[in-house]
Amino acid sequence: MIRAAALPAAWLACLALGGCAGLSREPSAATPAGDGQAASEPAASASAPVLTLRVEAPDTVRELLEQQLDLARLPALANGRQLAPREIDRLVAAAPEQVRSLVETEGFFTPQVAVQQLPGEPPVVEVRVEPGPRARVRKVDIRIQGALAEALSRGEAEAVAGDAALREDWPLERGEPFRNAEWTAAKRAALARLRALGYARADWVSTLARVDAGEHRVDLELVADSGPLFRTGELRIRGLKLHDEQTVRNIADFRPGTPATEKLLLDVQERLQRSGLFTTASVQLDARAEDPEHAAVTIRLAERERQEATFGIGISADVGPRGTVEHVHRRVFGQALTARNAFELGRVRRSWTGELSTHTLPGLYRNLVGGAAERIESSTDVVSSLRLRLGRAQETPRIDRLVYVEAERSLRRLDDGTETNADALSLHYQGIWRHVDNVLLPTDGWVFSGQVGGGRARSDPGGTGPFVRAYGRLAAYRPFGGWYGSLRLEAGEVYARDDVTPPDSLLFRAGGDGSVRGYEYRSLAPTQDGIVYGGKVLATASAEIARPILERMPQLWGAVFVDAGRAAERWQDYSPAVGYGVGLRYRSPIGPLSIDVARGQETGSVRLHLSVGVTF
């Protein structure tokens, strides 16, 4: 038999715990007490203890009883004064029912309880509890009323997907142990999911946990009223002093009447923060709007300084010590333009990169013009290059795109004094597609970066002719059994006649951080007479597993990895070099700091590698 009943003592106990749903309990035969029990004897009051309480129960309920029983709290409430024996007798008599009410919140509906008062000064009260089997969820029935139900009846795709997600994300599935804390959390999470779909006034009509104590099963029945679907109305912008309101509207990128889902609001907030124009940004929906069809959305902003400069000194295993200077101007000529310049001065690499771009335009686009000058030294050559670029970018939370025309000239000077000149004019498309749980510190998902381009190149010595360049890089992340795995695959090829050599920056080299560890930076490439030069084909791979190594510092991970690959002039000449080793990962708020010790199997040398961030 199943019956629904609300016991007054149960409700009082639930209120003491912070609130619980009504539970129905069907009594059944008590289970004999067994092993696995632990006894505790809380310390008495320092002044004059009124009683000593001993609780003998399994760990699953003992701490709860020691904290919430009236008998346990009596010394503190008495505050050192003596209580009449009849008052203690009253509490002892009420204790069995209070114990049953408390353990019900943990899912135990057939407990055996024995309370005994022993002589002594102060009196000793002994509470023995055998909770019996914990009840498990047998059935979950979630019903929806309101505007969402009407949308479901019309088969609207967003409503169907939202309803499916609500049910799939319900945490208390069939067979799960029932506890009042999880039951309350599940209801709260489900309601938050409904409101995230744009039903800001969603609420529960009824929630019931129907208990079959004899079978140790609980049936969950819930009815929710979604309320109306909120749609965006007036966009209110607060806090602008330097930048244009139209820029913020372009970044918001939604029209009036758009369903005001949590995802929409969070995406707008993220784009505002990524724009580089604001230190803080918040986006809020007016959930009390009289007309939910036209609910106001308020954006509050704090702007960054008009100009900022950043100076840095660092060291890398690949390029050695270096100094950097970065400058950004967010209002060039008083217009909606941003200029960025970065200078790097190091032993191996010296460079300048600059870009002048518009603020976000309609459709999340930016127009840009940029340039770069670079000088890179290796053990066998020095490559100097100059690039000019004109393009159009689009940046969204999951996809970044860039289309650009680029002119480049490079000069390569070998150790023996030989020089090679090359230049190219080309059109390129590149994109980054993300599907990860965290952009800075991914542990699950994937990121793919792809580039394709082509144009005309001229080299001296060499010839003049067309070329096509393709490149792709896939990084995948997956947690498993307390470990975190990552896999990286990289491949590229330049298609051109044998006598056509594009500038070195359009060719490929491997080795070093983010490539094949255990080898010198850019050293795994075609070699002629001891001179390393860029190759027309590239393939590398990396596999790594990592896990936290200190419980008190979960952001510090240990890792084991193996890398393989190289660049070559053609696939027939390709022979991957292998490197392997161990490392440490510190997962900081700005990205992971990696320290690796790797051995190159081809050379037998051991190298130290340092890097910060995730390479996409």
> What tens digit of pLDDT does each residue of 459-476 get?
888 889 999 999 999 999
Work out the percent of the chain whose per-residue pLDDT is above 90.
70
> Whole-angstrom Cα distance, residue 113 to residue 96?
6
pLDDT at 49 over 80: no
In the block, tokens 């607060």 appear at 238
**Model pLDDT, residue 1:** 36
**Model pLDDT, residue 80:** 63
pLDDT higher for 414 or 112?
A: 112
Main-chain phi, psi angles of 336, to 5 degrees: -80, 65
pLDDT at 444 over 60: yes
pLDDT at 325 over 70: yes
Lowest model confidence (mean pLDDT) among 376-385, 551-560, 599-608: 376-385
Lowest model confidence (mean pLDDT) among 48-52, 98-102, 462-466: 48-52
Beta pairing class for 124-130 and 52-57: parallel
CB atoms within 10 A of CB 118: 10
pLDDT at 87 over 90: no
**Mean pLDDT across the stretch 541-563?**
95
pLDDT at 9 over 80: no
The highest-confidence range among 22-31, 285-294, 526-535, by mean pLDDT, is: 285-294
Q: What is the CA radius of gyration of the chain?
A: 34
pLDDT higher for 522 or 584?
A: 584
The highest-confidence range among 68-77, 392-401, 553-562, by mean pLDDT, is: 553-562
Q: pLDDT class for 17, splitting at 50, 70, 90?
A: very low
Span 347-363, pLDDT tens digits: 888 999 999 999 999 99
pLDDT at 292 over 80: yes
**Mean pLDDT across the stretch 558-578?**
96
CB atoms within 10 A of CB 211: 26
DSSP structure class, residue 336:
S
**Mean pLDDT across the stretch 286-296?**
94
Sheet architecture: strand order including 203-212: 136-145, 217-225, 203-212
pLDDT at 479 over 80: yes
**Residue 559, helix vs strand vs coil:** strand
**Mean pLDDT across the stretch 556-570?**
97
pLDDT at 189 over 50: yes
pLDDT at 561 over 50: yes
> Whole-angstrom Cα distance, residue 386 to residue 372?
6
**Model pLDDT, residue 317:** 62
Contacts with 566 (C-beta within 8 Å, 6 or more apart), sequence order: 510, 511, 516, 524, 525, 535, 538, 539, 540, 574, 575, 576, 577
> Whole-angstrom Cα distance, residue 421 to residue 461?
7
Mean residue pLDDT of the chain comes to 87
pLDDT higher for 123 or 168?
A: 168
**Model pLDDT, residue 296:** 96
> Whole-angstrom Cα distance, residue 29 to residue 112?
9
**Model pLDDT, residue 238:** 96
Q: Could you tell me which of 87, 92, 95, 46 has the C-alpha nearest to residue 68?
A: 95
**Residue 291, helix vs strand vs coil:** coil
pLDDT higher for 505 or 136?
A: 136
**Model pLDDT, residue 78:** 67
> Whole-angstrom Cα distance, residue 148 to residue 231?
14
Element (H, E) at 479: strand 464-480
Which domains are present in the chain?
8-130 (no CATH), 136-225 (3.10.20.310), 232-303 (3.10.20.310), 418-612 (2.40.160.50)
**Mean pLDDT across the stretch 252-264?**
94
Q: pLDDT class for 44, splitting at 50, 70, 90?
A: very low
**Model pLDDT, residue 123:** 82
pLDDT at 43 over 60: no
Span 497-527, pLDDT tens digits: 989 989 988 999 999 988 999 999 889 999 8
604: left (phi over 0), alpha (psi -120 to 50) or beta: left
**Model pLDDT, residue 277:** 96
**Mean pLDDT across the stretch 274-289?**
94
**Mean pLDDT across the stretch 393-408?**
92
Lowest model confidence (mean pLDDT) among 34-48, 141-155, 387-401, 529-543: 34-48
pLDDT higher for 217 or 120?
A: 217
pLDDT at 45 over 80: no
pLDDT at 40 over 70: no
**Model pLDDT, residue 348:** 83
pLDDT at 221 over 70: yes
